[in-house]
Amino acid sequence: MTAAIELERIDKSFGSVHAVRDVSLAIEKGAITGIIGENGAGKSTLMSILYGLYHADAGTIRVDGQPVRMESPHDAIAHGIGMVHQHFMLIDSFTVLENVVLGAEGGPLLAKGTAAARSELERLSRDYGLTVDPDAVVAELSVGEQQRVEILKVLFRGARILILDEPSAVLTPQETDRLFRILATLKARGVTVVLITHKLREIMAATDRVYVMRQGRMVAVRATPETSPEELAELMVGRKVRLQLDKAPPHPGEVRLRAEHLGLIDRRGVRLLDDVSLELRAGEIVGIAGVSGNGQTELLQVLSGIRPPSRGTLTVCGRTIDAGHPGDPAEMRDLGVAHVPEDRQRQGMVAAFRASETAILGYHEQPQFSRTFLLNLPAVGAYCAKLMERFDVRPRVPGLRSSSFSGGNQQKLVLAREMAQQPKVLLVGQPTRGVDIGAIEFIHRELVKSRDAGCAVLVVSVELDEILSLADRILVMFAGKIVGEVTSGRADERTIGLMMAGARAPALGGAEGA
Amino acid sequence: MEDPLALVFLTAAATLRVATPLILCAMGGLFSERSGIIDVGLEGKMLMAAFFSAAIAAVTHSAWWGVAAGIVAAEAMALLHGLACITYRGNQVVSGVALNILASGLTIVWGNAWFHRGGQTPALEGQGERLLPLFFPRAGDSILVYLALLAVPITWWVIARTRFGLRLRAVGEMPLAVDTAGISVAWLRYRAVLLCGLLAGLAGSYIAIAQNAGFTRDMTAGQGFIALAAVIFGKWRPFPAFGACLMFGLLDAIAIRLQGVRVAGLEVPVQLIQALPYLLTVFLLAGFIGRAVAPRAIGQPYEKEH
């Protein structure tokens, strides 16, 4: 094997956090190498070091056998390394062409450089199937197209080594497939590709070799054809993980929440929700699938009483909410609607609060937590300790700042708070965003448990796998509308993917319950 | 009664005369703000430049040394602002306000210590110590007026058509993208801030040694803020900002002509007329011109997370 890049004994700490510990790896030239690990395992930090965004505390980087210093991205680019970041580094108000030439303008005046860039861009588009209009403004492109612009940017700089950080996080399955075809083309033309992801399926589908990271260490390397998702999951987490969620068939009961023709129009007149109707029954999990930004956030806001609908009605446990009779989150909570918000850092908790305070947020006026004026702190602490035990929140320190917990433990704490109220309706946004596999398994099992106990559960997630494994019924959202409904079991990723992309598909079954 | 043609010519000339420091200053502010650095300190830069240009012109008997000194003074202020905002990632508005207060105080203290005239500099004599009109003595068309007119298309061209301009626009929108493209965010912003200093220095020099014949305390009288308003008015684009400067200049020229005018038998108070441009600024900025979309990263110090 010829190595395009070798990292030797790289070490990096941020303050007291030891993010990368003594990591060595070799990336094969002209192949697709995967780096897999849970959130916070150190994959992105490692690649940022390689790209010159961070400086390693110790260790050597070699490109084509030569030791190099990566002081800044400028050095990395000079060595033929290009990076496609998870959050696109594109300027929304610029055209594709302007974004591509930024930093490689080919002279102090733009005219000549951009003309050359235009023809080079055409060649690259043709060679690699990266079609995109060079004069389009980036803000008006779809996420998939924006990603293509990012790849073009890297290729335009003559990169021979392409690093992609969680490239599929924002893509539909179809767009992901297209991305993988592009990567295969790149590989066929001798480009070295590094794919960073936490999705097992993508590693299996796209890579030749895979490195596994756990808690800052490189724990294993495998040739992809010789490994399995189960083995990789076990290596990532450090123990056996069940990837398949076992659940009994649902026993839907009475309708707990009914939305009829909900519409939401913002101040600028943009339709955020358009004629959304749905029913949520006791004892079932309804999943809302869709690419991020298609109205899911707003739907949760309306259902949880944060925003009143502009049109339509929402009936929850006998109370009817519409534009003239808005509800509020506290009232919804009293009605038995619990809400685990999508953005737990900002909406689910107060970062500076102690865990015990986060554990009662919103329920702090219940007699068990508060006396006339003062909080009953010992009771709050004891309550939190109980929740932590029951939901396996680590470390079990009720006095610790909420922000000091890892993403998974924060989520478990918020979920514990809401579930402990034994709600009639449970709304959950992105239950496992930024949560490691071990905790995902736990959270999924808890959601199913609460369904079996008769709770009506609504799960909104951009992770299609999650929706497929959790939901009994799946609704697909696109552009503020529900464009399709699929019953679990009859659900297949292709069809849902098409609906997520806005292609109208006939509703497949499942409508009989509605 | 003057003939109408002369009236139009003189009003136009007066407009341009008043607008010149605004235009120079606004183009400077535009460079700074497009790079993401808010510049509330334009006023202070101009004031400092006005003082030093007048003082040095008086001492050396050379208007050109005066202009050079004005530029150096404004650049020193610009560097301070850059140091606070770029290197030390301070609050840009606070830094700008501090520089304004600093300039207002220091110019008087230094002026007193140097010339003992209550903060003023000695009156400049016409020959050589001031920038005099080039072609039309009554119009006051000093070389800086023409320079201001040239500054507008040049600013546009630099921002729209050059590599520096592309990067400048980019860094004001998304500095992280610029950094990952291998370009130094700090150096780019410093250059923008220094360009701003250069132009504000010219503007201040104009006020002290072309428009007037020496420095008096706080002589910039809010023109830096009007220039800043023009930048926002013009939605951070050179030609619209130029238009806004001309409008302010015209209002000012009209205000001067209107002094002593009687409306319905009552004399219009001079103060009201003088307040007109400022009142209009408030009204127009309060939504008349529609939403101004600022560079996205404006006002945010650039920090890598480590």
Q: Do B162 and A110 touch (CB under 8 A)?
A: yes
> At residue A236, what is the residue type?
M
Per the CB < 8 A criterion, the answer to whether A355 and A388 are in contact is yes
Q: Is B296's CB within 8 Å of A92's CB? A: yes
Question: What mean pLDDT is predicted for residues A474-499?
Answer: 86
**Spatial contact of A234 and A241, defined as CB atoms under 8 Å apart:** yes
Element (H, E) at A17: strand A17-28
Nearest chain B residue to A54, by CA: B306
Q: Are residues A210 and A257 in the same domain?
A: no
What DSSP designation does A220 have?
E
Residue B1 has pLDDT above 70, yes or no: no
The answer to whether the peptide bond before residue B277 is cis (omega within 30 degrees of 0) is no
Domain count, chain A: 3
Token representation of residue B244: 């806004």
Considering the domain boundaries, does residue B304 fall inside one?
A: no
Residue A36, domain member (yes or no): yes
Is residue A404 domain-shared with residue A477, that is, in the same domain?
no
User: What's the pLDDT tens digit per position in B215-273?
Assistant: 999 999 899 999 998 998 888 999 999 999 998 898 888 877 777 777 777 777 777 87
- For the segment A124-137, the average pLDDT, to the nearest whole number, is 88
- Is A101 near chain B, with CB under 8 Å? yes
Both tokens assigned to B218: 């706080």
pLDDT digits (tens, 9 = 90+) for A64-88: 999 999 998 899 999 999 999 888 8
The DSSP H or E segment spanning B223 is helix B223-233
pLDDT band at B306 (very low <50, low <70, confident <90, very high): very low
Residue of B nearest to A48 (CA): B180
- Pick from B162, B166, B174: which is nearest to A98 by CB? B166
Q: Do A413 and A436 reside in the same domain of the chain? A: no
Per DSSP, B121 falls in state: P
A365 near B CB under 8 A: no
Whether the CB of A103 is below 8 Å from some CB of chain B: the reply is yes
Distance from CA of B295 to the nearest CA of A (A): 10
A-to-B residue pairs, Cβ atoms closer than 8 angstroms: 73
Q: Is residue B180 part of a domain?
A: yes
pLDDT for the residue A338: 94
Question: Quick check: A463 pLDDT over 50?
Answer: yes
Where is the domain boundary, A381, A397, A421? A421
Residue span of the structural domain in which B234 resides: 4-288
The answer on A381 and A313 residing in a single domain is no
**Do A116 and A161 sit in the same domain of this protein?**
yes
In this prediction, residue B79 has a pLDDT band, given cuts at 50, 70 and 90, of: very high
> Quick one: angle between helices A173-188 and A493-500, nearest 10?
100
The answer to whether residue A77 sits within a structural domain is yes
Last residue of some domain: A218, A237, A256? Answer: A237
Q: Within this chain, do residues A410 and A446 fall inside the same structural domain, yes or no?
A: no
SS3 (DSSP) at A108: coil
Instruction: Say if A342 falls within a structural domain.
Output: no
Asked if A83's CB is within 8 angstroms of B180's CB, the reply is yes
Mean pLDDT value of segment B63-86: 97
Q: Is residue A102 domain-resident? A: yes
Q: Taking residues A141-156, report their average pLDDT.
A: 89
Task: Provide the token pair at A212.
Answer: 């596994």
Q: How close, in Å, is residue B173 to chain A by CA atoms?
A: 7
User: What's the pLDDT score for residue B284?
Assistant: 74
Does A19 fall in a domain? yes
> Closest residue of A to B172, CA-based?
A91
Q: Name the residue facing A102 among B161, B181, B306 (closest C-beta).
A: B181
A305 part of a folded domain = yes
**Residue-level length of chain A:** 514
Q: Is residue A455 part of a domain?
A: yes
**Contacting residues for B163 by C-beta, under 8 A, at least 6 apart:** A105, A107, A108, A109, A110, A113
Q: Is the pLDDT of residue A489 over 80?
A: no
Half-sphere exposure of B267 (CA within 13 A, CB side): 5
CATH code for the domain of A170: 3.40.50.300
A 113-132: CB under 8 A from B: 113
Give the chain A residue nearest B183 (alpha carbons): A103
Among chain A residues, the shortest Cα distance to B293 is held by A93
What's the CA gap between A443 and A465, in Å, rounded? 14
Does residue A332 share a domain with residue A273? yes
Contacting residues of B for A14, CB less than 8 Å apart: 306
Q: Give how far the C-alpha of residue A105 lies from the chain's centroid of Cα atoms, to the nearest Å.
A: 34
* Contact between A76 and B182 using a beta-carbon 8 Å cutoff: yes
For A510: left if phi > 0, alpha if psi spans -120 to 50, otherwise beta; the answer is: left
Residue A510 has what pLDDT? 39
Domain boundary among A393, A421, A449: A421
Inter-chain residue contact A101 with B182, CB threshold 8 Å: no
Alpha helices in A216-255 (DSSP H): 229-237
Question: Residue A315 is part of which domain span?
Answer: 244-336+423-514
Domain shared by A445 and A308, yes or no: yes
Is B193 among the domain residues?
Answer: yes
Q: What is the pLDDT of residue A17?
A: 76
CA dihedral of A75, A79, A85, A88, whole degrees rounded to 10:
80
> Cβ contact (<8 Å) for B174 and A74?
no
User: pLDDT, tens digit, for every residue of A24-66?
Assistant: 999 999 999 999 988 778 888 899 999 998 899 999 999 999 9
The three-state secondary structure class of B144 is helix
User: What distance in Å separates residue B181's CA from the closest CA in chain A?
Assistant: 5
Judge if A417 and A444 occupy the same domain: no
The B-side interface with A (CB below 8 A) comprises 161-167, 169-170, 173-174, 176-184, 296, 304, 306
Give the percent of chain B with pLDDT over 90: 65
Substitution target from A48, A51, A102 for chain B, most B beta carbons within 10 A: A102
Q: What is the pLDDT of residue A514?
A: 33
Residue A178 and residue A132: Cα distance in Å, rounded?
14
| pLDDT tier for residue B149 given thresholds of 50, 70 and 90 | very high
**What value, to the nearest 5°, has the Cα angle with vertex A345 and ends A342 and A347?**
60
Long-range contacts of A228-236 (CB under 8 A, 24+ apart): A228/A204, A229/A200, A229/A201, A229/A204, A232/A36, A232/A200, A232/A203, A233/A200, A233/A437, A236/A36, A236/A37, A236/A38, A236/A41, A236/A198, A236/A212, A236/A437
Contact of A73 with chain B, judged by CB distance below 8 Å, is answered with yes
The winner for highest mean pLDDT among A109-123, B47-61, B120-134 is: B47-61
Interface touch A109/B183, C-beta < 8 Å:
no
Q: How far is A47 from chain B (nearest CA, A)?
A: 13
> A303 in a domain, yes or no?
yes
Tokens of B283: 């009204």
Amino acid sitting at position A302: V
Q: Looking at residue B289, what is its pLDDT? A: 60
Rounded to whole angstroms, the Cα distance separating A75 from A80 reads: 9
Least Cα separation, residue A74 to chain B (angstroms): 4
> Cβ–Cβ of B166/A91 closer than 8 Å?
no
* Band of pLDDT at residue B290, cut at 50, 70 and 90: low
The answer to the question of residue B100 being in a domain is: yes
| CA distances (Å), origin A307, targets A268, A298, A341, A415 | 16, 8, 13, 22
**H-only helix segments in B83-142:** 92-115, 126-129
Best of B171, B174, B180 to substitute, by most chain A Cβ atoms within 10 angstroms, is B180
Residue in the structure block whose two tokens are 């000012």: B252
A300, two tokens: 């949760």
Q: Which of A256-260, A382-386, B254-258 has the lowest mean pLDDT?
A: B254-258
Using a CB-CB cut-off of 8 Å, the residues of chain A touching B169 are 91, 94
**Do residue A459 and residue A506 come from a single domain?**
yes
Residues from chain B that touch A98, judged by Cβ atoms under 8 A, are 166
Q: If you average pLDDT over every residue of chain B, what do you get? A: 90
- Number of folded domains in chain B? 1
Nearest residue of B to residue A71 by CA position?
B182
pLDDT(B292) > 70: no
- Give me A365's structure tokens: 């006026």
B177/A102 CB distance under 8 A: yes
CB atoms under 10 Å from CB of B83, counted, come to 14
pLDDT of residue B2: 61
Interface probe with B: pick from A93, A101, A153, most Cβ of B within 10 Å: A93
Out of A89, A109, A113, the one facing B176 most closely (by C-beta) is A89
**Under 8 Å between Cβ of B30 and B238:** yes
Mark whether A255 and A372 lie in a shared domain.
Answer: no
Whether A43 and A107 map to the same domain: the answer is: yes
B31: in domain: yes
pLDDT exceeds cutoff 70 at B288 = no
Residue A150 contacts B, CB cutoff 8 Å: no
Mutate to test the interface with B, among A79, A91, A110, A146 (most CBs of B within 10 A): A91
Question: Any chain B CB within 8 A of the CB of A441?
Answer: no
Task: Tell me the chain A residues in contact with residue B292 when contact means C-beta distances shorter than 8 Å.
Answer: none
Nearest chain A residue (CA) to B171: A91
Among B162, B178, B306, beta carbon nearest to A109: B162
pLDDT band at A346 (very low <50, low <70, confident <90, very high): confident
Residues forming a β-bridge with A196: A35, A165
DSSP code, position A472: S
Half-sphere exposure (CA, 13 Å, Cβ side) for B61?
A: 2
**Beta carbons within 8 Å of A138's beta carbon, 6+ residues apart:** A90, A91, A92, A93, A94, A95, A96, A99, A146, A149
| Interface with chain A: mutation pick from B163, B185, B235, B296, highest number of A CBs within 10 Å | B163
Q: Judge whether A83 is closer than 8 Å to chain B, CB to CB.
A: yes
Q: What is the pLDDT of residues A92-120, one digit of tens each?
A: 999 999 999 998 898 899 998 899 999 99
pLDDT, tens digit, 9 for 90 and up, residues A403-447:
888 778 899 999 999 999 999 999 999 998 877 777 888 899 999
The per-residue pLDDT of chain A, averaged, comes to 88
In a domain, B302, yes or no: no
Say whether residue A92 is in contact with chain B using an 8 A CB cutoff.
yes
Q: CATH number for the domain including B223?
A: 1.10.3470
Contact A103/B178, CB-based, under 8 Å?
yes
